[in-house]
Amino acid sequence: MTSSVEAGTTRPTACPQKSRSVRDSSSQGGLATLDKELKHLCLDDCCGVHGDRKQSRPRPKFTSTDQSSGVTSRFNNINKIDKSHPVFKQISRKNGEINKLNASEVKAKLGTLKLNTRGRIDILKSRLKSYYKQRQLAAESGFQSMHQQFDYLLVIDYEATCEEPEPPDFVPEIIEFPIVLINTSTLEVEDEFQAFCRPTFNPKLTQFCTDLTSITQSMVDSAELFPDVWKKVCKWMDSKGLGTYYTFAVACDGPWDMNLFLNVQCHLSQVPFPNFCRKWVNICKAMSNFYHLPRMSLKNMLTAHELTFEGRPHRGISDARNIARIAVILMEDGCILDCNDSFDTNFSPNAH
């Protein structure tokens, strides 16, 4: 499904001009009021989100800004530092020593340092290299310690209506909206949000959808419509001070949640597509780049860390929790997460 953006709203080309969802009186009656409340609740002109660096909380002053992601960095941008500095020769020499170690030797060193010893060999070596790199940089004057670029990470993994085989004009609707909130300073999950959404374009779930997600017809029949759930999401975010007192970024395990599911749903429900969802942390891409691994599914990412999936696969809240586990490990290992994926008007799910 290829998508296009018009006048600040999103419109998937496969969608009919008038969706059944907007015929529901409860979704259409308070759209003007809802739009005002969404703007108040950090949807568009909020503080501390991508593109707006104003914050009510005093923050340290930093000079480096990543223009590509619109996020101000909290550390010296090492990529812009003269790599001829002697410390980088020391780091390179240490990396060479680590490359010669076998798995048991790397695990022994990680254990001595009380670091995580789980994972395939390339992950273990990257972890050890990152530890020594941070320690060597910290010992040199002029190099500030590295910190995450935002206070919180909102891990989202939607579940949507689906069919098998899927018709070329099938319109997916979000049926589960989960969020796992990670504090990037403590690396702890502080809270969660979870709600089901009632589909209106295709209100009856297919057996394939129920078998895949374990979401039943009665669950969505008793759920609220997407605009009402979205309103609750924004109130929940506002209660956490996200976008006003604390900076945050959205995280997913790929491009589909924002480019496809939220894009289509916002059009169907006539809800403005939120600016803070136009750029996000792609955890799959971050893991691939940090550990120099090929991109892989959530299950394979967990396997690479010698972990097993916790919960029910293809349930939004379970998927989000497991994506959060990967995100925490990345941050523990020294990966500085950034908004490495963005809204693509030409997105095609068949190309991913």
Rounded CA gap, 253 and 259, in Å?
12
Rounded CA gap, 264 and 197, in Å?
14
Rounded CA gap, 192 and 180, in Å?
5
Provide long-range contacts, Cβ within 8 A and 24+ apart, for 11-16: 11/267, 12/171, 12/263, 12/264, 12/267, 14/168, 14/169, 14/170, 14/171, 15/171, 15/264, 15/267, 15/268
- Verify whether residue 159 is a known catalytic residue: yes
Q: Name the catalytic one among 159, 173, 267, 305.
A: 159
Backbone angles phi, psi at 281, to 5 degrees: -90, 115
Closest to 278 measured CA to CA, from 265, 289, 262: 262
Whether the CB-CB separation of 163 and 206 falls below 8 Å is answered with yes
Adjacent-strand bridge partners of 153: 182, 249
Q: What is the largest CA-CA distance in the chain?
A: 68
Q: Name the catalytic one among 50, 267, 305, 314.
A: 314
- Verify whether residue 314 is a known catalytic residue: yes
Residue matched to tokens 């057996």: 207
Closest to 157 measured CA to CA, from 271, 346, 312: 312
Peptide bond into 165 cis (omega under 30): yes
> How many residues does the structure list for the chain?
352
Adjacent-strand bridge partners of 4: 11
Whether the CB-CB separation of 107 and 115 falls below 8 Å is answered with no
Catalytic residues: 159, 314
